A = this chain, B = another copy of it.
Amino acid sequence: MTRPRLKIIPLGGLSEIGKNMLVMEYEDDILVIDAGLMFPEEEMLGIDLVIPDISYLLERRDKLRGIVITHGHEDHIGALPYVLPQLNVPVYSTRLTQGLIRVKLKETRALQDADLRLFSPGEQVELGKFKVEPYPVCHSIPDAVGLIIQTPIGTVVHSGDFKLDYTPVCGKPTDLSRLAHLGAQGSLLLMSDSTYAELPGYTPSEQVVGESLDHIMANAPGRVIVTTFSSLISRIQQVIDAAAKHQRHVFVVGRSMNDTTNMALELGYLKAPNGILGQIQNVRNFPANKIVLVTTGSQGEPTSALVRIANRDHRHVHIQRGDTIVLSATPIPGNESLVNKTLDTLFKQGAHVFYDKLARVHVHGHGSQEELKLLLNLVKPRFFVPVHGEYRHLSLHGQLAESVGITKENIFVLEDGDVLEIGAQSGKVTGKVGSGHVYVDGLSVGDIGGVVLRNRRMLSKDGIVVVIIAVNRQTGKLVGRPDIVTRGFVDTREFKDMLDKSRDILSEALDHASDRAIEWSFVNTKVKDILEKFYYEQTKRRPMILPFMVKV
């Protein structure tokens, strides 16, 4: 009889692997780490969100002991409203993370049935044969944790999203001594954040941003508008601290920024001196050089406060000469052109703008190569699985692990759905489970498949041509010329003659063909063939052709 092995299965990331959900399975117990959402890629037209495919879990619902969340970012908690009603298991997290989960679940009315439980560093939670202990890590949100998981065959460490910051703004520095202690005892497996495995050196401390903000607020002649992610609570703290130092009042603009700020203040994760926070409608009562505004919009999102402010479309705030804008974030890949447009709009209005290319106004929340090597050195795992990153990041992280002495055969660069089985001495990828993506579009989860998306793509390129063909109910013969209506294909006035001609061509072809009564499948194919060819010759475009036959 073979001894039972530990299974590791990353599930659901679009290009990132094991980011949004990861499954650990040992005999009859399953533990899930994180349940996040992904933002749709460019070609997923009209899709709002993408969530992991949890069919593997649904088939093994009785084995599932709980979901453990490492921190409160969307890509780690955002799928809970969709998967929790189906899985119905306890969700473990730290306090701030739970606050953020509550907000999410409330929005979708899934809070009532949710079984949310707290855990804290130093405590151990038993989930079947797994004993899970969170340890504090530094990331761009407070209360983030990594996980130390005792299993029957050894200790597993999951880093969560982390960097090493010895002077963090909120939260505690990563608990290195706990990990060193663990490494000394010997550990089985490390799964570690690979997001910045391409970057040499160390990620700078949040402190450098504090220094930049201090310098900017000291020298700005007028208002300072800082824009960042609403979840970046430590950045908001830095803004408040710098504002306080320079006797400026802080006004939080926008719903999501206000929601998070209030929640973080209530839970004590954000600290503001008395009277420093003002209501946006009172902003006019203060002189410009006593004002700091905090808004979302660092990604150039069209509905965000900053973009509305830049476009003079905001109720309370317009850009005025002398304003200083700080974009305290880097564009997420894909958002560059939106961000650049926003920057240009701000420059055109004469604002001073500080952004990543010009000043140290943002640092990211993931460890660079030296930090990743340090973690590997402390934990000293027998096996290593890089997670959280695109394939090349994982692959490079694997090379780093090899460079610090992990045996090459014990490093597993997985793809989503891969089933890795680990024993005390060896590991092996033994299979693949379904790990597709589930699209969320409007109210519906999962109905959008390849056909709908393919049609949207086709429609988006060259539009549609609808053809109505009337045939005589008795004789089956064509009645009149077919009607043609287009949308998104050509300018119908300029191409009136061409569209007209295509009706003639159709009439002739169908008349000619109809010695016998017109048959639908025949007409359908014939109309598509003729029009596709004709329109392509005339325009080099390929609209979707949609013929209808009506009996009159």
B333 contacts A336, C-beta separation under 8 Å? yes
Collect the chain B residues with CB atoms within 8 Å of residue A336's CB.
Answer: 333-334, 336
Contact, CB under 8 Å: A483 / B15: no
B-chain residues with CB within 8 Å of residue A441 when the two chains form the complex: 462, 539, 541
A64 to B541, CA, bound (A): 34
* Interface check A442, CB cutoff 8 A: yes
CB closest residue in chain B, given A464: B464
- Known interface pairs A42-B42, A198-B358, A552-B551. Does A489 touch B452 (Cβ–Cβ under 8 Å)? yes
Let me know if A255 is at the binding interface, CB within 8 A: no
The CA-CA distance from A457 to B459 in the complex, in Å, is 9
Task: Say if the beta carbon of A357 comes within 8 Å of chain B.
Answer: yes
A548 within 8 A of B: yes
A340 / chain B contacts, CB cutoff of 8 Å: 15, 333, 390, 392
Nearest-neighbour CB distance to chain B for A75, whole angstroms, equals 16
> Which residue of chain B lies nearest to A442 when distances are taken between CB atoms in the complex?
B540
| A461 B456 Cβ-Cβ under 8 A | yes
Docked-complex contact A468 and B46, CB < 8 angstroms: no
Do A463 and B468 touch (CB < 8 A)?
no
Stretch of A76-84, A342-350, A514-522 with 4 or more beta carbons under 8 angstroms from chain B: A342-350
**CB pair B451 A460 closer than 8 Å:** no
Verify A392–B490 contact, CB threshold 8 A: no
Q: A487 contacts which chain B residues (CB < 8 A)? A: 455, 459, 464, 544, 546
Assess whether A451 is in contact with B491, with CB atoms less than 8 Å apart.
yes
B550–A468 touching, CB < 8 Å: yes
**B337 with A488: CB separation less than 8 A:** no
CB of A273 closer than 8 Å to a CB of B: no
Q: Given contacts A340-B390, A341-B15, A468-B548, are A452 and B463 in contact (CB under 8 A)?
A: yes
How large, as a class, is the contact surface on chain A? 35 or more
Would you call A199 an interface residue if the criterion is a C-beta within 8 Å of the partner chain's C-beta atoms?
A: yes
Give A493 Cβ to nearest chain B Cβ, in Å. 9
**CB closest chain-B residue, reference A394:** B347
Q: Given A344-B390, A459-B460, does the pair A452, B552 have CB atoms closer than 8 Å?
A: no
Verify A46–B392 contact, CB threshold 8 A.
no
Q: A448 near B: Cβ within 8 Å?
A: yes
* Cα–Cα distance between A552 and B337 once the two chains are bound (Å): 52
A460 touches B456 (CB 8 A): yes
The docked-state distance in angstroms from the alpha carbon of A552 to that of B479 is 11
- Tell me the minimal C-beta distance from A430 to chain B in angstroms: 19
Quick check: A46 and B462 within 8 Å, CB to CB? yes
A218 at the interface (CB under 8 A from B): no
What are the interface flags for A172-183 relative to B under an 8 Å C-beta threshold, 1 for contact and 0 otherwise? 000000000000
**Interface pair B540/A443, CB less than 8 Å apart:** yes
User: Could you tell me the distance between the alpha carbons of A538 and B443 in the complex, rounded to whole angstroms?
Assistant: 7
Contact B464 A459 (CB under 8 A): yes
Is residue A94 within 8 Å, beta carbon to beta carbon, of the partner chain? no
A470 beta carbon closer than 8 Å to chain B: yes
A 492-525 binary contact with B (CB < 8 Å = 1; else 0): 0011000000000000000000000000000000
The verdict on A391 contacting chain B, using a C-beta distance below 8 Å, is yes
In angstroms, Cα B535 to Cα A442, docked, is: 11
Name A's B-contacting residues (CB within 8 A): 15, 41-42, 45-46, 198-199, 333-334, 336-337, 340-341, 343-344, 347-348, 353, 357-358, 390-392, 395-396, 415, 441-444, 447-449, 451-453, 455-464, 466, 468, 470, 473, 483, 485, 487-491, 494-495, 538-541, 544, 546, 548, 550-552
Could you give 18 example pairs across A and B, Cβ below 8 Å? A15-B337, A15-B344, A45-B460, A46-B541, A199-B357, A340-B392, A344-B390, A344-B392, A358-B396, A443-B538, A443-B540, A444-B490, A447-B495, A452-B463, A457-B460, A464-B487, A468-B548, A485-B548
Contacts beyond the supplied A336-B336, A340-B392, A459-B488: 11 A-B pairs with Cβ under 8 Å: A46-B488, A343-B392, A344-B391, A344-B392, A444-B539, A447-B490, A452-B490, A452-B491, A455-B487, A466-B546, A483-B548
Closest 3 CB pairs of A and B: A442-B540, A460-B460, A455-B488
